[in-house]
Chain A
Amino acid sequence: MNKHMDRRGLLRLLAGLGAAVVVDQRLAFGASATCSGVFGELDEAAIAELGREYLSQRSDAAAVDAIAKLLAESQDEAKTLEQLRARVLADFTAGRIVNLAGWFVSETEGCVFAALSRCASEV
C-alpha cells in the first residue's frame, strides 16, 4: 500500500480484500471493518503509530468501536466531521485529553487514530 492513504484508496483496498484480518485483539469490534477518508490524505505509518500509542494508554475498545462505526457508516463527510467535532469539543470542555507523540489531543481524536490505524492493520 502507498505510504499515504486516502478514502478512495482505502475503500478500494478494503473492497478488494473482503474480510478483515484483525491483527490485534484490542482492535476487535462489532461493526464492519472499514473506515473513512474524511480526514483526507494521511500518513499511514504515522496514524498507525498514534493508534498504537492510544491503545497502549487506554483499554476502552468500545469507544474506539463507536468511532470506527461512525467512520464506517459515514455517508456525508461534512456531517461526520461535525459529529466528531462536537465530541472533540465536549472532550476538551470536560478535560478528557490524552498525550500522544508528545501532543495533548482529545480522547475522541485518540479513538480516531485507533480506528484509522485499524484499517491500516487490516490492509
Chain B
Amino acid sequence: MLLDAEQLEDGALLEAKVIIAGGGMAGLLLARQLGDAGIDVLVLESGGQSQDARVQSMYAGKMTLGGPSNSQRTMDGYLIASRVRCLGGSGNVWGGKCAPLDPLDFERRDWIAHSGWPLTRSTMQPFYDRACDVLELPHFSVDAQAMTGAPEPLFASGPRRFTARPRGYTRCSGAVANSTYQDYKVAAANHERVRIYLKANLTRIEMSEDGERVAALDVRCLNGRTHRARAHTYILAMGGIENARLLLASSDVHRNGIGNHSDWLGRGFQGHAVIEKEGQTSVQLLRNSAVLAPFDVMNRSKVHIVLGASDDTQRALRGVNFTVTLPRAIGAVTGAPAAALAVAKKLASASTSERREAYFMIEHTPNRESRLSLIRDELDELQMPRVRLDMRFGAAELDRFMPTLAMFASELGRCEAGRVQWRGGAEDLVASMSLSRHHMGATRMAVSAKSGVVDEHCRVHGVQNLYVAGSSVFPTSGIANPTLTLLALALRLSDHLRGRIST
C-alpha cells in the first residue's frame, strides 16, 4: 500500500513489526521478503513516486576527491547527481550491470589494510543465486573468472594473468530499454503486509537510555508535520551515504554517532572510479574483433567487454582489482601511433586490426581518511546537518595502477593480441577519474566493533534491533557493480530476521 506521510495528522504514531528506512532496491526487496514471511513491514521513503528537485536538494553537501601527490578536486555536485531520493531510489537510474564480488574480494589480503569480510564468497553464493533470480539473470559460478569451457583467444597461452569478467545485465533497472523496474516497485507496494509511506524523512534515531535499543524514529515532512515511528526491528536502507549520515546525526545518546565505537562510522568510504583520458585511452587489437565474442558472455545489445587482473595476478603484484573495459570500436590513430601500430601489426602477421575505446578501473581500498562527516553548522530544510565527503584514494591503489597496466600491456603483447594506449603516471590518476554512483564502506561490516560498524548479519554493533542494508556495509568493494551484492546481502538479512521476529 502506498501512503503519503504529508497527509497524516501532525504527530501521528506509525507502528509495525519492522520499519525499513528507504524505499530503494534493498529496502523494497527486504519489505517483500519479510512480508512473505507474514511480518508487517512499514517502509519510510523520503521522496515521492518520482524525482523532485526540492527533495533531491536534501542531498546537497560538500565533496572533494583526492589522493597522494594528486591535485584535489572539488565535486560538490556529485552528492546530488549520484543518487536518487524517491521511491525506487537510485535503481531508477541504474544501468542494470551485475557482477558478484570475487572470492579474493572477501579475503583478508595482508598487503591491503583493513581488507577482508567476515563472510566468504562461498557463504554468499546461495544469496547471489537468489539475487540473480530476482533480477532474472543467469547465476554466476563461484569461480566466475574461469569461464569454464569458453576459449580466451586474447590470452591464448601461458599464465592466466587477465581473464574475462562476466557481467550480467538486468531489465530490472530504471535506465534500460523495456525496463521491468516498475514491476519491482509495484510488487512491494501491493504486498498485503507492506505499507510504504512516501515523503517521510527520517531525521533522528531515538535510542533507549542504555543505548542498546532503538526506541523510535523521528519522521519529518516537508509540509512541516512531524511524526514518530516505532517497531520491533529497524533497518536502514537509505543508501551508502545517508545510512552513515543518519547514524552520525543521531548523537544524543551515543555522542559520536550510533555504532561508532571505533571511529569507523563514515570512514572507509569507497567508490568506483573510471580512469580514462578522452581520445587517449584505447586498446589496438591485432586481431579481428570476432576474438572478443567469447568475452561478451552475457550478450548485451552491444558488445561490452571487461577484462580483469586475476586473483593470482593481484597476489603476485600485491596489487588490487584492475579491469579494462572495451565498450566499442573507434577510429584509427594517425601519426606516430599509426606507424608504431603498423610495425606491431607486421610483427604479429595481423591481417586485420581494430581500435577499441577503453577505460580502466582500479579498486578503491579501505582508507580511514576517505570519509563522510557532518557539517554541523549547515542544515538542510529538515534541519539535518549536511554531509561532507572527502573521498580519498590511497597509495595502495594508485601506486599499483601503473605496474598492473604494464602487466596488462605486456600480456596483450605476449599473446600478440594488441597494444595499449595510456600516457601518464600515478600523479594524474585522480584528474582522470570519473566516479560511478557506487557508495560503499561508510558503515563497514566487521566481526568486532573495534574494526567496523555492523556485524556479519548487518546488525549495528552494540544495538540489538538496528540493521543496515545496502552497499555502505561493504568493507571492501572490489570492482563489481555493487547492486547484486547488496541485494544478496538483503536476502541474507531477511533470512536472518525471519527466524527472530514473531508474526
Residue of A nearest to B277 (CB): A102
Given contacts A103-B337, A103-B419, A109-B347, contact A97 B342 (CB under 8 A): no
Q: Are A102 and B421 touching (Cβ within 8 A)?
A: yes
Residue of B nearest to A94 (CB): B410
Q: State which residues 273-324 of B face A: CB under 8 Å.
A: 280, 284
Q: Are B409 and A104 touching (Cβ within 8 A)?
A: yes
Closest chain-B Cβ to A93's Cβ sits at a distance in Å of: 5
B337, B410, B413, B416: the one within 8 Å of A102 (CB)? B337
Residues from chain B with a CB closer than 8 A to the CB of A88 are 347, 413
Roughly how many angstroms separate A91 CA and B337 CA in the complex, as a whole number?
A: 19
Given contacts A97-B410, A103-B421, A104-B413, contact A109 B344 (CB under 8 A): yes
Q: Are B422 and A104 touching (Cβ within 8 A)?
A: yes
Say whether B53 faces chain A, with CB atoms less than 8 Å apart. no
Q: Are B342 and A42 touching (Cβ within 8 A)?
A: yes
Q: Are B407 and A95 touching (Cβ within 8 A)?
A: yes
Residue of A nearest to B342 (CB): A42
Roughly how many angstroms separate A40 CA and B339 CA in the complex, as a whole number?
A: 11
Could you give, for residues 403-444 of chain B, a 1 whenever the CB lies within 8 Å of some chain A CB and a 0 otherwise?
001110111011010011111000000000000000000000
Say whether A73 faces chain B, with CB atoms less than 8 Å apart. no
Residues from chain A with a CB closer than 8 A to the CB of B414 are 89, 92-93
Query: Could you tell me how many residues of chain A have their Cβ less than 8 Å away from some Cβ of chain B?
Result: 31
Residues from chain B with a CB closer than 8 A to the CB of A103 are 284, 337, 340-341, 419-421
Q: Are B419 and A46 touching (Cβ within 8 A)?
A: no
Q: State which residues 69-123 of A face B: CB under 8 Å.
A: 81, 84-85, 88-89, 91-93, 95, 97, 99-106, 109, 112-113
Could you give, for residues 103-121 of chain B, a 1 whenever the CB lies within 8 Å of some chain A CB and a 0 otherwise?
0000000000000000000
Q: Are A95 and B280 touching (Cβ within 8 A)?
A: no
Q: Are A47 and B339 touching (Cβ within 8 A)?
A: yes
Q: Are A92 and B410 touching (Cβ within 8 A)?
A: yes
Residues from chain A with a CB closer than 8 A to the CB of B407 are 95
Roughly how many angstroms separate A69 CA and B342 CA in the complex, as a whole number?
A: 21
Given contacts A43-B338, A43-B339, A104-B419, contact A97 B346 (CB under 8 A): no
Closest chain-A Cβ to B88's Cβ sits at a distance in Å of: 42
Say whether B335 faces chain A, with CB atoms less than 8 Å apart. yes
Say whether B336 faces chain A, with CB atoms less than 8 Å apart. yes
Residues from chain B with a CB closer than 8 A to the CB of A99 are 422-423
Q: Are A93 and B347 touching (Cβ within 8 A)?
A: no
Per CB-CB distance, the 10 closest pairs between chain A and chain B, nearest first, are A92-B413, A104-B409, A46-B339, A102-B423, A92-B414, A101-B336, A46-B336, A49-B336, A92-B410, A95-B410
With A46-B336, A81-B346, A100-B336 given, can you name 8 additional A-B contacts, CB distance below 8 Å? A85-B348, A88-B413, A93-B158, A95-B410, A101-B337, A101-B340, A102-B423, A105-B340
Can you list 12 A-B contacts with CB-CB less than 8 angstroms, sorted by A residue number? A38-B346, A47-B339, A81-B346, A91-B413, A92-B413, A97-B406, A99-B423, A102-B422, A105-B419, A106-B413, A109-B340, A113-B340
